[in-house]
Structure 1
Amino acid sequence: MIGIKDVSPYYSSNPKIRKFIKEGRGHGAGKEYIPWVKTHEFSSKGRATRIMGVKIPRIFHLQSDNMYRAFLTFEYSSVLDIRESYPLLDVMEVIDHKDDLRFDKFVDKESREPFVITTSFLLTVKEPDGSEKYVARTVKNTSELSRKVTWEKLEIERRYWESKGISWKIITEKQLPRQLAKNIEWVRETLLEGSEGELNKEILSITLLRFLVENGGDSLKEVLRTFDKQKGLQKGTGIFLFRYLIAKKEISIDMSKAIDFSLSAQDLLKK
């Protein structure tokens, strides 16, 4: 991938960009990556979110609700690394045929200094054979796709990643179900360090898993309530451990639907 020394002169003459590069923005991987744009530095049309990663322990800066939902989906999947707001700092060198690209649309109106083009996410994914590859994904609301300037930026991104030999696609809210994101958000909290308090969630979750199997004919709500009483646990512990089992993928449910606690445990776990 790109290194700091590879930054195009097209960008490096800008003092702000030089400052960001010195800070290491857009470089590194895993917990060492620093996004090009941080949430406090821009005006967002949606809710900007700062969130601690579970798979990669660092703060992620997400510029919209759609980016947040995409992040949750990526993190819950088999994606190995997530780099948000990835800057195309060598764009002028990478794209061979760019005479028809409207870079002039992406400059400061007063100084005429160019803005850095970014892609929402650069992901590292594992292939079935165990190898790793990069994929790039740009998150847009469908309402933005009616604007010509949006497509002009997307075409720059498309040609950049094509030149790099990296798969690039657009994701809209239509590919980001709200219920799925809500469920992931609900279970992932149990993976965060310190979320369990003084509980030994590793051991107790295994105990709950056996309890669910043994009492599968009862409603999930009743099973979890009974578990707390029989084990002498604080009210709500069973629900916390149930969430943890889902987050760890020890049990599987249909995450695209709202969880119905009135269903029997065995029926819910079949879905």
Structure 2
Amino acid sequence: MSRRAHYLSLDDILRRIKEDRGAGQGLAYRPWFEIKDVPSLGRRHRIRCSVNGRVVHLLSDLEGDCLHFGEYTDQCLRRAGVGRYTDVREQYPLLPLEETWLIARELGIRHPAVRGQKIVMTTDMVWTYERTNDTVLVPVSVKYLRDKNNPRSQQKAAIEAEYWRRRGYVLEHHDETCAGRIFRKNWTLIRPTLRPEFFKSFPSGIVQAVDECLRKPALGGRLRLTDLAAIGARRLGYSKGQVITAIHRLIADQTWPTDLMSQSLVSLEPLILTPNTPS
């Protein structure tokens, strides 16, 4: 996460703990920092996450990319039958403060502090991954490469990684190379179709009808979205726009598995359906 250090007095820290900042799950979770609390070096976002339905507080464009990549990963996991993400908690505090202080001392690293007051370190995002037999946490550090490669940032990342290692989890890293421009445009285009209320004004059963009608032609890999829309409109009586929107939903939930990292959905190239589950 790209942000300036933010001063909190000891009283501020105790008050946030009392307010249950960083506690709870799902809709009840409240991040340690909300966007109004922290000066950010990038644009800030409040986005309703498709995984848990909660409005999450993101402090940079890159955190937005990470959230969207997690939503996409969740759909791939569900479709592959290997689990699902059930929650995400952003700006997650590494408490108690005494633990990260001790870790820093053991590693020979100066603990982050502002005006002499040690600050509560945070992990940018913590995903809850529910598998067949267990549930694990996936902590993610979100940093631009220019910040990630900074020696001081690497020291703080070492403290963060050790905090999670002691809990049995591996700290993952997300930078601007993880989800590029093509994915960003694709997911921005199709993610609204995942909202439960999105198709209320559409003909009943349109998504299933489009799937049954166009899956076989789409699997050929020679037709563009506009070609598929024309076929669907002719066979089913929907408008081309309605058919394209239904296809967007089929791609978003990976009923039609598509590599959103490399294939642009707004290009005039044929649509290629290729099973793809992010790692």
Please state which band the TM-score falls in when normalised by the shorter chain.
0.7 to 0.9
- Calculate the aligned-residue CA RMSD, in Å: 2.7
Deviation at 1:18, TM superposition (A): 2.6
- Change in Cα spacing, 1:200 to 1:23, as seen in structure 2 (3 Å) is farther
Residue of structure 1 in register with 2:245 after alignment: 240
SS of residue matched to 2:133: coil
Residue of structure 2 in register with 1:213 after alignment: 215
Residue of structure 2 in register with 1:123 after alignment: 127
Deviation at 1:61, TM superposition (A): 0.8
- Change in Cα spacing, 1:16 to 1:44, as seen in structure 2 (3 Å) is same
8 Å Cα contact 1:124/1:134 also seen in 2: yes
The structure with the largest alpha-carbon Rg is: 1
Partners of 2:197 and 2:128 lie apart in 1 by: 28
8 Å Cα contact 1:47/1:65 also seen in 2: yes
Deviation at 1:233, TM superposition (A): 3.5
SS of residue matched to 1:26: coil
8 Å Cα contact 2:48/2:56 also seen in 1: yes
8 Å Cα contact 1:69/1:178 also seen in 2: no
| Superposition pairs of residues 146-225 of structure 1, within 5 angstroms | 146-200=149-203, 203-213=205-215, 215-216=217-218, 218-225=223-230
TM-score for the superposition, normalised by structure 2: 0.79
SS of residue matched to 1:93: helix
Number of residues paired by the alignment? 253
8 Å Cα contact 2:232/2:240 also seen in 1: no
8 Å Cα contact 2:40/2:59 also seen in 1: yes
Task: Give the counterpart of 2:117 among 113, 117, 127.
Answer: 113
Partners of 2:173 and 2:19 lie apart in 1 by: 29
8 Å Cα contact 1:211/1:227 also seen in 2: yes
- Change in Cα spacing, 1:176 to 1:67, as seen in structure 2 (3 Å) is same
Q: Which has the higher contact order (CA 8 A, sep 6+)?
A: 2
Partners of 1:139 and 1:214 lie apart in 2 by: 40
- Change in Cα spacing, 1:264 to 1:153, as seen in structure 2 (3 Å) is closer
Partners of 1:91 and 1:218 lie apart in 2 by: 57
Residue of structure 2 in register with 1:269 after alignment: 273
Partners of 1:208 and 1:72 lie apart in 2 by: 25
Residue of structure 1 in register with 2:25 after alignment: 29
Deviation at 1:247, TM superposition (A): 1.6
- Change in Cα spacing, 1:259 to 1:156, as seen in structure 2 (3 Å) is same
Segments of 5+ residues of structure 2 without an aligned counterpart are 1-7, 74-83
The amino acid that maps onto 2:174 is I
- Change in Cα spacing, 1:218 to 1:149, as seen in structure 2 (3 Å) is closer
Task: Give the counterpart of 1:83 among 81, 89, 104.
Answer: 89
Deviation at 1:237, TM superposition (A): 1.0
8 Å Cα contact 1:89/1:116 also seen in 2: yes
Deviation at 1:14, TM superposition (A): 2.0
Segments of 5+ residues of structure 1 without an aligned counterpart are 1-11
8 Å Cα contact 2:126/2:137 also seen in 1: yes
The amino acid that maps onto 1:204 is I
The amino acid that maps onto 1:194 is E
| Superposition pairs of residues 48-63 of structure 1, within 5 angstroms | 48-63=44-59
Partners of 1:169 and 1:270 lie apart in 2 by: 26
Deviation at 1:142, TM superposition (A): 1.0
